[in-house]
Amino acid sequence: MSERSLKRLAGVHPRLVALVKEAASLTPVDFMVTEGLRTRERQMALIRAGASRTKNSRHLTGHAVDVAAMVDGQVRWDWPLYPRIAAAFKAAAARQGTAIVWGGDWPTLRDGPHFELDRKAFP
Ligand SMILES: [Zn+2]
pLDDT in the model for residue 1: 85
In a domain, 122, yes or no: no
Containing structural domain, residue 46:
3-117
Interval between CA 65 and ligand 1 midpoint (Å): 6
Give distance in angstroms: CA of 95 to centre of ligand 1: 23
pLDDT at residue 109 in the model: 85
Q: Which long-range contacts (CB under 8 A, 24 or more apart) does 44-53 make?
A: 53/109
Residues 102 and 94 sit within 8 Å (Cβ to Cβ): no
Q: How far is the CA of 72 from the centre of ligand 1 (A)?
A: 24
Task: Compute the distance from residue 66 Cα to the ligand 1 centre, in Å.
Answer: 5
> Average pLDDT, stretch 65-84?
97
- The verdict on residue 17 lying in a domain is yes
123 inside domain: no
* 30 domain residue, yes or no: yes
Mean predicted confidence (pLDDT) in 32-47: 96
CATH classification of the domain holding 46? 3.30.1380.10
Count of structural domains within the chain: 1
